[in-house]
Amino acid sequence: MSSLNQALSVALDNRQSLLVELHAQGTDCYRLFHGSQEGASGLTIDRYGPQLLVQTFHNTLDRDALLALHAAINAHLGLALMLVYNDRSHGNSRIDRTDAVYKAEDAALEDLVGHEWGLNYRVRGRHAGQDPLLFLDLRNARGWVKDHAKGKSVLNLFAYTCGVGLSAAAGGAREVCNLDFAEGNLAVGRENGKLNPHLPDMGFIQSDYFPAIRQLAGLPIASRRGQKLPSYARLEQRQFDLVLLDPPAWAKSAFGTVDLLRDYQSLLKPALLTTAENGVLICCNNLAKVSMDDWRDQVLRCANKIGRPVRDCQVLTPGVDFPSMDQQPPLKTLILQL
């Protein structure tokens, strides 16, 4: 057995009880191999419903290795998952897609449906973006939101494909609003809504974060060095009972820079002000080099400074399909009761 297959076999064994639990709760989207922590840095293997998504970030996988791990996983799960391999080791994939294995079967590339916490999600092995349409390490946060959204107004910031919004709707939120500047991501969010027709409709705001959150928070929108700002959606000042702030590590727009290393505060402050008294703000930081202790101190200090002290702060960790040897998972999540 190759060392990769050996590492995979250990990873699958370690997930035995988790998979039983996930299947029982209506989840068939999860990580089967988290290479950086399980013996093959730069390789991830995820199940998305009927699809097995293999991704490499450092080195391309050769054909035989790919076929061997596909066969081993299907045998272990007793399923016939359809393989999609996306090599992201050189920016965009450069593997030879004339090869049938690398190309993937047509059926594997169709619009498919995966499930999490009993909800249906659009799954697409290849699409205009690089990332899969559902970030699996946020599953526990979506579960928390589903369990705590009843009767609440919910604002999902940096909504991507609106998984958190969908979870809130499923949990009985009275209102759900998803905000993101990327039309394509919100379009998948709308699809996710349609895939769950029993749920109430969600709201969508297509806007840059900075002008939107500052208007909601009642803060002025500053232009940088007197430069004229592009037009932006007008919003009334208001607060929500439950707010989710899960930004990307870094992104620049005409209105500001999302920078989780150097300036979390400029994202956090308006989000705190947009959270109602006695409300909850769930905030995340997915940058591995930021430690939980430092970041939590920063968050709590910022809340104190703007007069919205945190009454209770709970740490939420990703599921055990995202193991971390040092107990410091890159995705850090805090549930702040204000």
Ligand X SMILES: C[S@@+](CC[C@H](N)C(=O)[O-])C[C@H]1O[C@@H](n2cnc3c(N)ncnc32)[C@H](O)[C@@H]1O
Q: Which residue has the tokens 């590492």?
A: 7
The residue within the footprint of ligand X, chosen from 79, 248, 291, 328 (CB under 6 A), is: 248
Please provide residue 22's backbone torsions phi and psi, each rounded to the nearest 5 degrees: -65, -45
Minimum Å distance from CB 103 to ligand X? Answer: 28
Residue 169: left if φ>0, alpha if ψ -120 to 50, beta else—which one? alpha
Distance of CA 158 to the CA centre of its chain: 10
Q: Does 253 bind ligand X (CB under 6 A)?
A: yes
Identify which range of 179-187, 216-224, 274-282, 303-311 contacts ligand X by CB under 6 A.
Answer: 179-187
Instruction: Decide whether 252 or 311 has the Cβ nearer to ligand X.
Output: 252
In this structure, what token pair is assigned to residue 283? 């905030």
Q: Which residues within the stretch 138-157 sit at the binding site for ligand X (CB under 6 A)?
A: 138
8-16, 43-51, 79-87, 248-256 -> range binding ligand X (CB under 6 A): 248-256
Q: Which residue among 28, 180, 241, 321 contacts ligand X (CB under 6 A)? A: 180
* Cβ at position 97, least distance to ligand X in Å: 26
CB-based contacts of 175: which residues, under 8 Å, 6+ apart? 152, 153, 154, 203
Segment lying near ligand X (by CB under 6 A), choices 61-69, 73-81, 244-252, 325-333: 244-252
d(CA 120, CA 197) in angstroms, rounded, equals 10
Is residue 164 involved in binding ligand X (CB under 6 A)? yes
| C-alpha to C-alpha distance for 260 and 245, rounded to whole angstroms | 12
* Binding residues among 298-337 for ligand X as defined by CB under 6 A: none
209 is a site residue for ligand X (CB under 6 A)? yes
DSSP strand pairing (153-157 vs 240-245): parallel
CB of 201 to ligand X, least distance (A): 19
Report the C-alpha gap between 251 and 263 in whole angstroms.
12
Nearer residue to ligand X within complex by CB, 108 or 331: 331
- Please report, in angstroms and rounded to a whole number, the separation of the first and last CA atoms in the chain: 53
Q: Note the residues at the interface with ligand X (CB under 6 A).
A: 135, 138, 158, 160, 163-164, 180-182, 185, 208-209, 246, 248, 251, 253, 258
